[in-house]
């Protein structure tokens, strides 16, 4: 909240009725050079990543790393428990032989990788999030049902009260509104 008693502006929100219009509009916002903006859609719209210029996430590498850690944990745990700390002699077999240890190592790989995919996705998306300024908008409640939105933040370096509004109005949305922070 700023000092002048008026609530700070979060940005502008433009509503679209269908997929083609939001993809077109997203391309124009991207080409205009805005950086602090986002599209909000009820389902992942194909082609929107490209239209927004989103770069590939590093999530797969996190998952790969966690999977590797899971495998090593699985192998290491079994070696520690059955071959080193409390060595079992089973059917005259050597204390340490890999094949019998593969199933558990595999399960640990999948377990670590899956948990990291879930937590990594939430973490990079900054979820869970208790509140977001966009939730103030009554109209925005349809973003999870059947409407498509573009939100441009006031923090964007290109943001200008008049010019940005005029530009967003030219995108051909079905409604536009100002959202308070």
Partner 1 sequence: MGTPTAEKAAEEQIHGVPLVQGGLDFTGVTDTVCSVCERPGATKGWYISFAIASTGALTLFAMIIYLFWTGVGVWGVNQPVGWGFAIVNFVFWVGIGHAGTLISAILFLFRQRWRTGINRFAEAMTIFAVICAGVFPGIHVGRVWFAWWMFPLPYQQLVWPQFRSPLLWDVFAVSTYFTVSLLFWYMGMIPDLATIRDRATSTIRRLLYGLFALGWRGSNRQWHRYERAYLLLAALATPLVLSVHSVVSFDFAVAQVPGWHTTILPPYFVAGAIFSGFAMVLFLAVPARQIYGLKNLITLQHLENMNKIILATGMMVGYAYSTEFFVAWYSGNPYEQFTFMNRAFGPYWWAYWTMATCNVIIPQVFWIRAARRSIPVMLTVAFFVNVGMWFERFVIVVTSLSRDFIPSSWGFYWPTWVDILTLLGSFGLFFTLFLLFLRFLPMIAMAEVKNVMPQAHAGHHGGHRKEQV
Residue 117 binds to partner 1 (criterion: CB under 8 A): yes
Residue 59 vs 158, nearer CB to partner 1: 59
Of 6-14, 96-104, 153-161, 162-170, which part binds partner 1 (CB under 8 A)?
96-104
Under rule CB under 8 A, residue 120 binds partner 1: yes
Burial 47-65 (b: 16+ CB within 10 A, else e): ebeebbeeeeeeeeebbee
Number of C-beta neighbours around residue 23 at 10 A: 19
Query: For the chain, how are helix, strand and coil distributed in percent, rounded to 5?
Result: 50, 15, 35
Provide the pairing of β-strand 9-16 with 148-153: antiparallel
What residues between 14 and 73 interact with partner 1 by CB under 8 A? 18-20, 23, 38-49, 52, 54, 57, 59-60, 63, 67
Residue with the two structure tokens 């194909």: 46
Of the pair 143, 168, the CB lying nearest partner 1 is at 143
158 binds partner 1 (CB under 8 A): no
Residues forming a β-bridge with 180: 9
Find the distance separating the first CA and the last CA of the chain, reported in whole Å.
8
User: What residue ranges bind partner 1 (CB under 8 A)?
Assistant: 18-20, 23, 38-49, 52, 54, 57, 59-60, 63, 67, 77-78, 81-82, 85-86, 88, 90, 93, 100-101, 103-104, 106-108, 110-111, 113-115, 117-118, 120-122, 124-125, 127-132, 134-135, 140-146
């Amino acid at each position: 909240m700023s000092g002048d008693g008026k609530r700070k502006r979060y940005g502008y929100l433009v509503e679209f009725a269908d997929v083609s219009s939001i993809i077109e509009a997203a391309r124009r916002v991207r080409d205009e050079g805005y950086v602090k903006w986002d599209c909000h859609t009820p389902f992942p719209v194909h082609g929107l990543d490209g239209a927004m210029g989103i770069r590939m996430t590093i999530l797969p590498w996190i998952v790969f790393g966690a999977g590797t850690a899971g495998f090593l944990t699985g192998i290491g745990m079994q070696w520690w428990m059955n071959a080193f700390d409390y060595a079992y002699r089973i059917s005259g077999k050597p204390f340490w032989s890999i094949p019998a240890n593969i199933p558990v190592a595999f399960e640990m790989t999948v377990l670590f990788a899956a948990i990291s995919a879930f937590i990594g996705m939430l973490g990079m998306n900054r979820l869970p999030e208790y509140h977001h300024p966009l939730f103030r908008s009554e109209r925005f409640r349809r973003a999870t049902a059947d409407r498509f939105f573009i939100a441009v933040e006031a923090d964007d370096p290109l943001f200008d009260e008049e010019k940005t509004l005029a530009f967003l109005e030219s995108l051909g949305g079905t409604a536009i509104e100002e959202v308070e922070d």
